[in-house]
Structure 1
Amino acid sequence: MARFLLRLHDGQKTTPVVEPLDADDAEQAKVLAEIRLLLTNDYTHAHIYEGDRQVAELNRFRQGPNPQG
């Protein structure tokens, strides 16, 4: 299991809420982070980090690939 950090943002320029996230890999961390993001309306987007490297970014209002490319 790997340790990731989930940084939850409320859409404003405030300090994000940082939560530890344990997952088997980056893909599982992304799924778990998406669930966490959607649990409440408190956060607009999230960044997932493994160490110092950002591995994913999620946005509550943007789902799936951008149809305009």
Structure 2
Amino acid sequence: MRIATDPLALKVKLADIADNADNADETRLASQDVATAQRLRDKYRDALAALGQEATRAASPIKH
């Protein structure tokens, strides 16, 4: 994946995933049906894995 080889692109994508993953936190997932909750867990876990990151890693703030 090209993003994983570009440090700035990786940082931006990880921040994007972290922002979107707020929608997949366990408190919010509890209000979803089982299939949707699992799909969201898998989606964010797989996205992080594709970028070579651990599923529990949060993106660090972007410094300008």
Normalization by structure 2: what TM-score? 0.35
Query: Larger RCO: Structure 1 or Structure 2 (Cα < 8 Å, ≥ 6 residues apart)?
Result: 2
Normalization by structure 1: what TM-score? 0.33
Larger CA Rg, structure 1 vs 2: 2
More helix per residue: 2
